Amino acid sequence: MMCTCSVRALIRFLIYMSMSVSKSSVDKSLHQVGTANPLNQLELTQLLEHLEKDMPRSLYMIASIQSSQKNSKFSSLFYTDNWPSFSVVISKPEETKSEVHINYYLVYFQSGKEAKGLEFLRKNDFIDWSQNFLLVCPSPLYQYIGEVASEHGGKLDEDNEAQCHILYVNDEGSIPKMAIPDSFKEGVLSAEHSHQVNSEWKYGGTERKRTYIQSLIENFPTVALFTAQGQCIAYMIANEHGGMGMLHVTPEHRGKGCAKYVITTLAKKHVQVGHYPYLYIETDNEASLLLHLKCGFHLVENFQIKFVPYIGHRSLHP
């Protein structure tokens, strides 16, 4: 199996996470401790302009905003510590719109603003610390997260955390042109393929994960290769945060350029709609790193992301 953007912490976290997210009552004034208000659409447009100035470091948050704006089924709420002079941005799922919605918090902070990120997490109530969730944050912030987790009666699942590189494509010209390997035909995945992906995905196998996979297939771009008989032998899927992942090529067809073809083709689909193709690769996965560099991706230098599962006090003290 070839799995790139699929991160261990995210997948293992799915085993015990709570899929529901309770909506907090919010107050417009950020001067009151314990309150925060999500940005509206105009403010999100302005936020994207600010984040562009910190590319590629801010890429993962930009992609998440763009994806949320285009797909209401997986929409998120975005918070800042102050507007418009912000230091920290945090996203969370808007609400449970289906059983596959993931309790997933994404954190971005401006360089050198780790302390403000910590304070924002500590003081505001838009995070339900009683639930299990996955916190995705720049590595420098990670050392502080444990303090906040303890204050709220929970803990970090350090056995399942993962440290990742971010790789991205900044223009279509850097993506190499690839011919379709052998006599295969290019296509896209359908809902029926969720069973195949679920069985071939290293972290698949449950009905909940199959449902999640089907929802991705139905709502986001995919690229697949098929034999003349219609058998799907290679594929890659975009996800709800604007990233790419679940790369797989059947063993008998590896070494033929199938992986490079689906990677580059899906990347071009992202570029053509004005999005930056990106993905996470665990820092110890050298093979995947080299493969994507050959496909025109660039490494975000001196910047890594932590996937940190948080176990809420409901699970620790049922």
Q: What is the pLDDT of residue 191?
A: 97
What are the pLDDT digits (tens) for 82-103? 899 999 999 988 864 445 566 8
The per-residue pLDDT for 29 is 33
Sorted by sequence, the CB contacts under 8 Å of residue 262 that are 6+ apart come out as 223, 224, 225, 234, 235, 236, 247, 249
Q: Residue 207's Cα: distance from chain center in Å?
A: 21
Write down the mean pLDDT value for the chain. 84
Q: How confident is the model at residue 22, as a pLDDT?
A: 36
- Flag whether pLDDT at 11 surpasses 50: no
pLDDT score of 170 more than 60: yes
Portion of the chain with pLDDT greater than 70, in percent: 85
What predicted TM-score, i.e. pTM, was given to this entire model? 0.83
Question: What is the percent of the chain where pLDDT is above 90?
Answer: 52
Q: Is the pLDDT score of 314 beyond 80?
A: no
Which among 34-38, 46-50, 101-105 has the top mean pLDDT? 46-50
Residue 20 pLDDT exceeds 80 = no
pLDDT digits (tens, 9 = 90+) for 189-224: 999 999 999 999 877 888 988 998 999 999 999 999
Q: What is the pLDDT of residue 134?
A: 86
Compute the distance between CA of residue 180 and CA of residue 262 in angstroms, rounded to an integer. Answer: 9
Characterize the bridge pairing of strands 104-109 and 133-138. Answer: parallel
Residues 235-291 pLDDT 10s:
999 998 999 999 999 999 999 999 999 999 999 999 888 888 999 999 999 999 999
* Domains of the chain: residue spans and CATH: 8-164+303-316 (3.40.630.30), 172-299 (3.40.630.30)
Distance CA 219, CA 240 (A): 8
CA distance 176 to 51: 28
30 has a pLDDT exceeding 90: no
pLDDT of residue 149: 84
Task: Read off the pLDDT band of 302 (50, 70, 90).
Answer: very high
Other beta carbons within 10 Å of 145: 19
Predicted pLDDT at 251: 95
Judge contact between 93 and 103, C-beta under 8 A.
yes
Question: In this predicted structure, what is the pLDDT of residue 17?
Answer: 41
Residue 299 has a CB neighbour count (10 Å cut-off) of 15
* Model confidence band, residue 18 (pLDDT cutoffs 50, 70, 90): very low
* Contact residues for 210 (Cβ-Cβ < 8 A; gap 6+): 194, 195, 197, 198, 204
Altogether, the residues listed in the chain come to a count of 318
Predicted pLDDT at 267? 96
